[in-house]
Amino acid sequence: MIAVVPSVVLLVLGVVAGILGYRWRKKKQSDNLEFQFHPDILELRTGVNRPPSPLPPPVPARPQFLEYEVNPTDLQLNEQIGRGAFGIVFLATLKRAVDGLLTEQTVVVKTVHEDAGEEEIKNFIREMDTTITLRQHINLLGLVGCCTMSHPPYLVTEYMPYGDLKNFLLKCRKVKLSERLRDSMYDFNEMEVYQVARQIANGMTYISQAGYVHGDLAARNVLVGEDLVVKIADFGLTTDIYERGYQRQDADQKIPLKWMAPERLQREGRYTSKSDVWSFGVLLYEIATLGNVPYAGLDRTLLDELRTGYREPRPPGLQQDLYDMMLRCWQWEEDDRPEFENLYDELDAVVESMAKGYIKPGSGSPGGENGAAVATENAYDIPRSAQMRMQLHVTADVYNSEDRDEIDSLASSNVESSSTPIGGHLDNHEISDTELPRSTNDHIEGNSRDAEEDMKKSPTTEETVDNV
C-alpha cells in the first residue's frame, strides 16, 4: 500500500509536466507562425525594421480666409477650361445648403499645377488674399470662396459666361464677316467700345485707390458677362504698394512684353499704378481693334523703339479722342500719365453723351432703403443704335489669310446663344494672336516706321520677358 502512493504521485507529476510541456510547445509554434505569416504586423508593432509612416498634420484654416472657407467636398470639378503659367482653371459646380435648402451654383475654380512647389503655392495664397482684401466691386471678378485647408488650395470665383475679353473680341470679328454667329452680344459697336473701357477704368480706379497695382492688365485678364458686364480678373501679380507707393519687379516674373510700361522693361525697374495706366492704353488698343496684337513684329527691341517716341498708329475708323487717350496713357514719364479716376470720368462723359438716359452700371435707380440705389435688371443694357456703329478695323477686304484662318476657327465654337458659354477664366488661349494690316496712311508724329513693313510681321504668340 505504501509503495503505491509514490507511484501515483509520480504519475500525476508526469501528467502535469506533460501538459505544461505541450502548452509551451504550442505557444512556441504559435509565435513562429505569427512571425512567419504576419511580419508586417510585427514590424509595425515593434517599429524596429520599418518606421511607421507619419500622418499628415491637420491644416488649420488661415485666419483671413475663415469667412470664405468652402468645403472641397461641396465642389464638383466638371471640366478644365484653362491652363497657363500660373495655374489651372476648372468649370465647377458648388453644391451647398443655404437656409436649409440645397443649392447649386456654377463657379470657376482656379488652383496650382500638380507639381507646384512651395513658392508657387505661396504666390497663389497671396492671390487669394488680394482677392479677399479687394472684396466685392461691380467691375472686379466676384469671390465665391476658397479652400485653404486642403491640398491643392482652391480659389472659387463667379462664372462669366462669355469668357475672357480677348476671345470675345475675336468672336466679334467673326460677326463683321459672317452672320453665322447669331448672338447679338458679339455685334460690337462704337458706343460699346467706350462702355467696356469705362467699366475697366472704373475697376482700376478702385484697385489703385485701394493702394494696389494689378501688374498684368490686358484683355486676356478681363472677363465678359451678360449684358456686356466686364470684370477685371487674375490678381496673381497684383501687389500692395500702399506703404512705399511702388513695387520692384521680381527677377523670376514672366510678364507679357507688349503690355509693360517702359519702367518695367528696364533693369530693376520699379512700377506703380501709373504702370497699369500704360497697360490700360494697350488694352484700349485691343478693344478698338477687336483683339489686335499691339506692336506687331517687335520683341526685345520694343524698349528702344518706345524710347525714340514710337507708339502704335491710330487704327482706321477710331475716334481721335480715344486715340488721344491712348497716347496720354503711353507717356514715357509716369507723372505725365493720367489717373484712372480721370480716365473713368472722361469715358463716362462720352458714353453719357452718346446715349442720353442710360443707367450707369451699378448706379441703379433711386428709391432704395435709406436712399440707396436699387440695381435694375437692365443696368448694363445700353441701347445699340445703328447710327453709332463705326469701322472697327474689321471690313472683309483688310483680312489676310492668317486672319481668315483664325476667324474661321471660331466657327467650331458653340456660341449660337448666351446659353452656350465659351468659358470663364482662361490663363492661356487656344486662339493665337494675329495682327491685322495697318493702313499705310496711318502714322504718328515723329515716327518714320513704314506700315507696310509692319504688315509682314505677324507674331503667333505673346512674347514674355524676364526681368532682364
Three-class DSSP labels, the chain: CCCHHHHHHHHHHHHHHHHHHHHHHHHHHHHHHHHHHCHHHHHHHHCCCCCCCCCCCCCCCCHHHHHHECCHHHEEEEEEEEEECCEEEEEEEEEEEECCEEEEEEEEEEECCCCCCHHHHHHHHHHHHHHHHHCCCCCECCEEEEECCCCCCEEEEECCCECEHHHHHHHHHHHHHCCCCCCHHHCCCHHHHHHHHHHHHHHHHHHHHCCEECCCCCHHHEEECHHHCEEECCCCCCEECCCCCCEECCCCCCEEHHHCCHHHHCCCCEECHHHHHHHHHHHHHHHHCCCCCCCCCCCCCHHHHHHCCCCCCCCCCCCHHHHHHHHHHCCCCHHHCCCHHHHHHHHHHHHHHHCCCCCCCCCCECCCHHHCCECCCCCCCCCCCHHHCCCCCCCHHHCCHHHHHHHHHHHHCCCCCCCCCCECCCCCCCCCCCCCCCCCCCCCCCCCCCHHHHHCCCCCCCCEECCC
| Residue 449: all three cell numbers together | 516706321
Q: How far from 129 is each of 89, 126, 150, 420, 433, CA to CA, in Å? A: 18, 5, 16, 32, 32
**Using an 8 Å Cβ cutoff, are 197 and 329 in contact?**
no
As beta bridge partners, residue 95 has: 104
Query: How far, in Å, CA of 425 to CA of 81, rounded?
Result: 7
- Choose among 438, 432, 418, 467: nearest CA to 220: 432
Query: How far, in Å, CA of 286 to CA of 392, rounded?
Result: 11
Query: How far, in Å, CA of 143 to CA of 132, rounded?
Result: 7
Q: What is the largest CA-CA distance in the chain?
A: 142
Query: How far, in Å, CA of 138 to CA of 429, rounded?
Result: 25
110 assigned ligand-binding residue = yes
What is the set of active-site residues? 216
Residue positions forming the annotated binding site for ATP: 110
Residue positions forming the annotated binding site: 110
